[in-house]
């Protein structure tokens, strides 16, 4: 997806997205992948927030978004 760098609290990123904004981005991307039948893999990337709990929350939210989007999917996952 896009990692944690766009977070407003990230020391290196400059896009200034909120936690909710990052989650919404993840859901949009994941929904489009699902709609198009594109396989998705995720890894943790980025994350230089002053508060490490924000970085953890960002990465957990990506997994939560995937769970929300793919929860009712009939596709097999590996």
pLDDT of 78: 45
The 10 Å Cβ neighbour count of residue 56 is: 14
Within-domain flag for 44: yes
Within-domain flag for 64: yes
Higher pLDDT, 13 or 41: 41
Within-domain flag for 59: yes
Query: Which pTM value belongs to this model?
Result: 0.83
Q: Tens digit of pLDDT for each residue in 24-53?
A: 999 999 999 999 999 999 988 778 899 999
Q: How many Å apart are CA 56 and CA 54, to the nearest integer? A: 5
Q: What is the DSSP letter of 37?
A: T
Mean pLDDT, the chain, whole residue set: 89
Domain range holding 56? 19-70
The number of folded domains in the chain is: 1
Mean pLDDT of 59-73: 91
The 10 Å Cβ neighbour count of residue 4 is: 27
In the predicted model, is pLDDT for residue 20 greater than 70?
yes
Within-domain flag for 78: no
């Amino acid at each position: 997806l896009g990692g944690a760098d766009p977070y407003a609290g990230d020391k290196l990123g400059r896009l200034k997205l909120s936690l909710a904004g990052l989650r919404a981005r993840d859901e949009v991307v994941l929904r489009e992948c699902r709609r198009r039948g594109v396989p998705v893999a995720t890894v943790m990337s980025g994350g230089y927030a002053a508060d490490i709990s924000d970085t953890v929350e960002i990465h957990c939210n990506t997994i939560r978004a995937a769970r929300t989007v793919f929860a009712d999917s009939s596709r097999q996952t590996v």
